Each structure stands twice: as structure tokens, then as C-alpha cells.
Amino acid sequence: MPRPDPITKIENVVASVILNQRLDLDEIAATMPNVEFDPEQFPGLVYRLKTPKTATLIFNSGKMVCTGAKSEKESKRAVHKIVKNIKEAGIEITGKPIITVQNIVASANLSAELNLELAAMKLENTLYEPEQFPGLIYRMRDPKVVILLFGSGKLVITGAKFEPQIQEAALKVMDRLLELGVMRIPEGEDWGQAKSDDEDENW
């Protein structure tokens, strides 16, 4: 059968926001529902939305950090909804928010087992200390992301700035792992990739 593509899923998008104006957090806390503000504990106000389900930190400098969105589009929708709600509460916001995605975290599944010890020896830019953490940490240069690889074939991809980088990174790491002979293709399936001698010796 032909090789399946990795299955990827975005788990969290972190976006920073600049409003270019100062905000009165006390006023926002007094007029808005679904907010948490305890300046003695933390200088930012937490604004939670149910749809899209996100939590946004708002600072009096006008900067915000939105987390929890499952896509870039959802992240932007959450920010615009918060700005609209604040305006409707009678608090003046003069400019449009400048939104920048800082980090996209995704999970992926290669549908094949990985020999992490062999991968640590053959793959560049890795860190593998199974006594400390069960996964292998792989720093990919292009796209610039960090990938956590687990023996089950599950991955966590972090550091992406754009959604297409997630699938690109998953495909690239799968190609590389196949090339190095550190993937065990599920029994009964043939992806047109013969096992290397090294792989046979180390499984």
C-alpha cells in the first residue's frame, strides 16, 4: 500500500496583540463578564471566551496574548471579538489590533513505531535522555520547529509560525526517519521502503 501521510492536529495557537494604546484594566474588570483580574497576584487581566474557546491576557500597555485557539483564523476571531466586546461596553479603542502568531503547537501521528535510540544516533540536532524524558527532541531547521518524537510514532510539533509549516515538518521528519531506517512499518503494510541492515539489527 502507498505510504500514508502523517495525521496532524493543531492543539494551540499563541498570538500576541498590540493595540497601540493604554487600557484601564480596572474599568474593563468592572464592566466585562468572564474576566479575572487580581493585580496583586498578576498584572494582566484574563479574558475568557467560550466561542472560540480561548483565554487572553490583557495588559494596561495595550498588549495582549491570546492562547487556546485551534487555528490562526480562530485566534484572530477571538481577538476581534474581545475588542468588539470592550468597545460595546463603552471603553474607547481607537486603532485596529495588530495580531502576530508567535507559536503553533500541534500533535501528529506517523502510524508506525520509531526506534528512538537509533534515531538519536543517526539524526542531527537531537537530544535524547530517556531517564529524564521518554521522547526524543529534534530541532528542525527548515521549517524552524522543535519536534518531540515518541516510540509510538506520535509527535508534538512546536514553534511553527504558520499552519502549513505543521504538515511540512511532519512530512519532512517522516521522510528522514524512513531514509535512516528507524521506523517500523506496521505488519502487513508495504510502503515501498526496504528495512536497512542497521534497522534489522537494532529492533
Each residue's pLDDT tens digit, 70-111: 999 999 999 999 999 999 999 999 989 999 999 999 999 999
Place of cell 476571531: 77
* pLDDT value for 186: 82
Same domain, residue pair 79 and 141: no
Segment (H or E) for 72 = helix 72-88
Single out the residue in 77, 101, 125 at which a domain terminates: 101
The CA-atom distances, in angstroms, between 168 and each of 11, 60, 87, 116, 163 are 16, 38, 39, 21, 9
On whether residue 8 sits in a domain, the answer given is no
Q: How far apart are the C-alpha atoms of 81 and 129, rounded to whole Å?
A: 44
On whether residue 114 sits in a domain, the answer given is yes
Q: What is the band of 190 on the pLDDT scale with cuts at 50, 70, 90? A: low
* pLDDT value for 1: 63
On whether residue 194 sits in a domain, the answer given is no
Residues 174, 6 contacting (CB under 8 angstroms): yes
Closest CA to 68 of 97, 84, 42, 48: 48
On whether residue 41 sits in a domain, the answer given is yes
* pLDDT value for 99: 97
The pLDDT tens digits for 131-175 are 999 999 999 999 999 999 999 999 999 999 999 999 999 999 999
* pLDDT value for 199: 47
On whether residue 121 sits in a domain, the answer given is yes
114: phi then psi, degrees, rounded to nearest 5: -120, 140
Same domain, residue pair 71 and 134: no
Same domain, residue pair 143 and 123: yes
* pLDDT value for 194: 46
Q: Which domain holds residue 159?
A: 110-185
Same domain, residue pair 177 and 122: yes
Looking at the chain, the whole-number percentage of residues with pLDDT higher than 90 is 85
On whether residue 4 sits in a domain, the answer given is no
- When pLDDT is averaged across residues 106-122 and rounded to a whole number, the result is 96
Same domain, residue pair 151 and 115: yes
Count of domains forming the chain: 2
Same domain, residue pair 92 and 118: no
**What CATH code is carried by the domain that includes residue 47?**
3.30.310.10
Same domain, residue pair 79 and 138: no
Looking at the chain, the whole-number percentage of residues with pLDDT higher than 70 is 92
Same domain, residue pair 33 and 67: yes
Single out the residue in 101, 118, 136 at which a domain terminates: 101
On whether residue 192 sits in a domain, the answer given is no
Same domain, residue pair 127 and 76: no
On whether residue 127 sits in a domain, the answer given is yes
